[in-house]
Amino acid sequence: MSDSAVMDSTELEIQANEEKSHALVEELQEVNKDTTQKKAIKRAKGKIDVARIYKSNRLTHKERKPNAIIKPEVRELIRKNVVGKDMKTADAMKAFNVSRRQIQRIKAEDPNQVKTCAKRPSKFTEDMKTKLQKSTTTLPEMAKFILEQFDVKVLIHDMDISWKQVTNTPAAWNWTDLIEQRANFVGQRGLDLGQKVVFTDEAGFDLHSGQGFGYAPSGQPAVLSLVPKAKQESIIIMDNAPVHQGKRFKEVIGSLEASKSIKIEFLPPYSPFLNPIKYSFHSIKAYV
């Protein structure tokens, strides 16, 4: 056999071994790749399971699927162990096979649980509020007064007091006889069922201004324009304005009661709030 023939067979063997080695390397790479993919899938599934359990324990009652009904005796055991014996929530979940949300709900249902507010008590005490009885005092003056009298600095916001318009109430409004007159007036209205009751009042309107006051023309009380439209068996109620107390007006009242059976009644003194037409005028003026 020649040297060239020997060389050729050796080269062929080397080439065959190299091809075999290359094939084994590729096969090994495929095995490693497949193993790596399986491990990655396993880790991903594990993370998904952990995330599902974590989310399941923290879902709201709207997001969670309907849970099995917990028997009353089991609920009581959970309450006694978690609330009474300070059992950990995680341990209770395993022991009673319930979710974290269910345990939280059972704890919230405990009537003996006292909800405490962690807010720090205010320096502005009830005694300080009692000292501030003069409502016309401004808020900065109130804060200064508290500092001088109690040596305490408080924020205006902490006083829970707001600046409002002062409402002056005449002392006569609360006289005993006037209160009795109002009660009688309201009681009489309950006896007027079936009759036409008309409330009257005067109001001024200014179309060229957003504010201002006005009066009805002197000598022209509302009853003069109202009477032609009033029906029989009617009751007209008005206030005690001076224009309603004159001699001429009394003559008109007498003629009305004699000819058309129209009865005139007056509101009790200092009782404008008993006249519902006041509220109508307020709405009309706001619109105008």
Q: Which of 120, 189, 121, 124 is nearest to 150 (CA)?
A: 124
- Given this model, what pLDDT does residue 12 score? 80
Is residue 201 within 8 A of residue 239, CB to CB? The reply is: yes
154 and 251, same domain (yes or no): no
The range of the structural domain enclosing residue 137 comes to 123-168
127 and 213, same domain (yes or no): no
**Residue 82 counted as domain residue:** no
**Residue 184 counted as domain residue:** yes
227 and 207, same domain (yes or no): yes
**Residue 44 counted as domain residue:** no
**Residue 251 counted as domain residue:** yes
- β-partners of residue 160 are none
Give the tens place of pLDDT for each residue, 106-160: 888 766 665 555 566 666 666 666 666 655 566 677 777 777 777 777 665 655 6
> What is the average per-residue pLDDT within 184-201?
78
Q: Which of 125, 76, 111 is nearest to 96 (CA)?
A: 76
Which CATH number do you get for residue 235?
Answer: 3.30.420
Choosing from 143, 168, 193, the residue where a domain stops is 168
Is residue 46 within 8 A of residue 88, CB to CB? The reply is: no
Q: What pLDDT band is residue 215 in, cutting at 50, 70 and 90? A: very low
How far is 181 from 268, CA to CA, in rounded Å?
Answer: 6
Choosing from 147, 168, 189, the residue where a domain stops is 168
- Given this model, what pLDDT does residue 121 score? 63
- Given this model, what pLDDT does residue 281 score? 74
Q: What pLDDT band is residue 1 in, cutting at 50, 70 and 90? A: very low
**Residue 237 counted as domain residue:** yes
More confident residue, 181 or 3: 181
More confident residue, 131 or 192: 192
Reduced to 3 states (helix: H, G, I; strand: E, B; else coil), residue 236 is strand
Edge-to-edge strands, sheet with 263-266: 196-199, 234-238, 263-266
| Longest alpha-carbon distance in the chain | 161
229 and 253, same domain (yes or no): yes
Report percent pLDDT > 90 for the chain.
0
Is residue 110 within 8 A of residue 78, CB to CB? The reply is: no
Tokens coding 229: 């439209």
* DSSP secondary structure code for residue 174 in this structure: G
- Given this model, what pLDDT does residue 210 score? 47
Choosing from 168, 201, 221, the residue where a domain stops is 168
pTM > 0.75: yes or no: no
**Residue 153 counted as domain residue:** yes
Give the tens place of pLDDT for each residue, 11-31: 788 888 888 888 888 888 888
How far is 273 from 286, CA to CA, in rounded Å?
Answer: 18
Number of domains in the chain: 2
123 CB neighbour count, 10 Å cutoff: 13
Average predicted confidence (pLDDT) for the chain: 72
**Residue 250 counted as domain residue:** yes
**Residue 257 counted as domain residue:** yes
154 and 252, same domain (yes or no): no
212 and 271, same domain (yes or no): yes
